[in-house]
Amino acid sequence: MENWHCLLLLCTLSLELSSGGVTKNDDDIDLVSFLRNVYPELLIINRDFEINSVEELGRPGDPAIIQQTKDKPVTQDTDGAAGPAVITKDGQIKGITVDKAHVFYGVPYASPPVGAYRWKPPRPVSPWHGVYDASFPRAACMQFCSKAITEECPKSVSEDCLYLNIFVPLDVDLSSPLQSHLPVMVWIHGGDFIAGSASKPLYDGRFISNFTHSVVVSLEYRLGAFGFLVSGKDPHTSAAGNYGILDQQAALLWVQQNIAVFGGDPAKVTVFGESAGAQSVSLHLMIQSSKPLFNQAILQSLPFSIPLKTRHDALKLGKGFAKQTNCSVSDFVCLLSLTPQAILAAQMKTSSKILNPFRFLEVFETWGPYIDGELIKEQAVTAFQKGRWQKEKPILLGTTSEEGVLFAYGVFNKPVSTVECTVYITAIFKQHTLQILHKYLPLYRDADHRNMLAQIVTDFVFLCPSRRSARAGTAAGSKFWMYVFDHVISDRSVWSGLTFCYEHSCHGAELPFLFHSASVANFTLSPSEKLLSNRMLCYWGAFAHTGDPSSRSQQTTFCREQRLPIWPRYSDTSGFLVMNLTVRSHTQAGTRNHICDFWDQLGIY
């Protein structure tokens, strides 16, 4: 009987979609009501869920909001407690020596974006006198903590948040002239462009730095409405958006100008990021002004098929935001006068209002970069397929094996029937729905179709467009290495209650292994998992040193002891082999090539 329902529903939806009756960008049309008229038992999307994973959010409750620090924490006592000290172009900085590394926390890379500078591009740091205290992390950028997903939210948040952390191997003597410089790895955190922090214990860079002999930098950037609000076109009289991306660019420029005094080589910079961080890295690979700021890139779990907003859609979001604040979208003075708390509240309300099944993919990214025509000119998946990116730069690219589980089970908190599944697939894929159902439905016999939806998200959003981009790049002569992370962590506490990830390699599952941060992030790894972790950070380190994760030429003693399996370049001559990162890591042909061939032929990335 359900199959008949399915067919009837599909016919009705197809007629409406083909007539344009429900797809036009119209505030008057209530698509949820339309769907309920067709099928009254339609499941309600869990609107309170925000797409976050092991890397993104934490304890419920609001972190403390810190106002701008009027003066940098500077002390005149240059002969005080022992700690590594350097002189940057802006002034002297003293850090702290911890187990495994010298660390400089909370180093300012731009002036605070507060007051009249709230929605303005980042400005250079004002030099200071005395010694800047870099012994403790600064506040994270403004965000709202709503779900228990990791052990902690940021302890404090602030608009004054444009800082970075630097990790230097212990054997680098910063008190004497440096004879040689180490490769630099710059980490851009994920969090759906609304959450996350460079200072999360999960991202502690001391272990990668120490074991691979590289300088690791992690940066904060403006999030949510603070980083991405668009209220008009004129940047002088409105918020023009993409400030979070400009922040990242400013941090990369700071690295070019200052990292040498920390022992880093500005001519050997690898930018790496996961999820929204990987999206950010992909944009810097397309942005001409970012080109001289780094040499190669690592893209972890890049959601290629989640589209960046058009200017029209970004402005529509901005108008909805302004409405929630009781400011006119054209009244920039009113918007600038809002408290940080009021902006967060309006951001949350706007996010929940625009979600509906016909904009299903926007559930995953309400706030974020948009195509402004100047800084960002097109979708990343288009740029990579057309060769409009910095093709001379080596790329390491990969996904987890079950990216979509977090999304499907997070958004749908109850079982999804065949009929409901058809609704959502039709909402996303329109005229391609029948082909997709024909491909996937026979493979999933359960009454609950969330597993099927999860696999479609994995394939369509992450895996297959990554494969397509890598193949287009290799055909044009670019160097790619591909991986799939395919291990289920034994310590379930890393998921903090996300039970549906306990038996899966969810979005973000590789992060505890890459950063080797178990000892500081309160989880444990088994002996075989420690070997996987060691190998992963050694692959990433080898890539930073040489542009090849399989290179042995500049390996540390630690990495030589890990006996890394060979990781061949992704190319047709090697059979397009992918590294399967698991407790017995090995190369393999893509296990879902037939499915990705199907998506490639649909041509809808």
Residue 211 is part of a domain; what is its CATH number? 3.40.50.1820
Q: Is 408 within a domain? A: no
Is residue 283 in a domain?
yes
Q: Is the pLDDT of residue 153 over 90?
A: no
Mean predicted lDDT score pLDDT of the chain: 88
Q: Distances from the Cα of 130 to the Cαs of 102, 136, 255, 382, 559, in angstroms?
A: 20, 17, 22, 49, 40
pLDDT greater than 60 at residue 147: no
Residue 48 lies in a domain: no
Q: Would you state the structure tokens that stand for residue 74, as one six-digit string?
A: 């500077």
CA 580 to chain centroid, in Å, comes to 21
Q: Is residue 210 part of a domain?
A: yes
Q: Does residue 267 belong to any structural domain of this protein?
A: yes
Which residues span the domain enclosing 245? 64-300
Is the confidence at residue 26, as pLDDT, over 90?
no
- Structural domain contains residue 595: no
pLDDT band at 224 (very low <50, low <70, confident <90, very high): very high
Q: pLDDT at position 38, please?
A: 39
Catalogue the active-site residues. Answer: 275, 403, 507
Residue 59's pLDDT is 34
Count of domains observed in the chain: 1
d(CA 359, CA 296): 34
Residue 531: burial class (beta carbons within 10 Å; 0-12, 13-18, 19+): middle
333, part of any domain:
no
377 has pLDDT over 90: yes
pLDDT at 453 over 70: yes
Strand ranges across the sheet with 74-75: 74-75, 131-133, 91-94, 85-88
Q: Is residue 42 part of a domain?
A: no
CA distance 512 to 525: 9
CA dihedral 417, 423, 428, 429 (to 10 degrees): 100
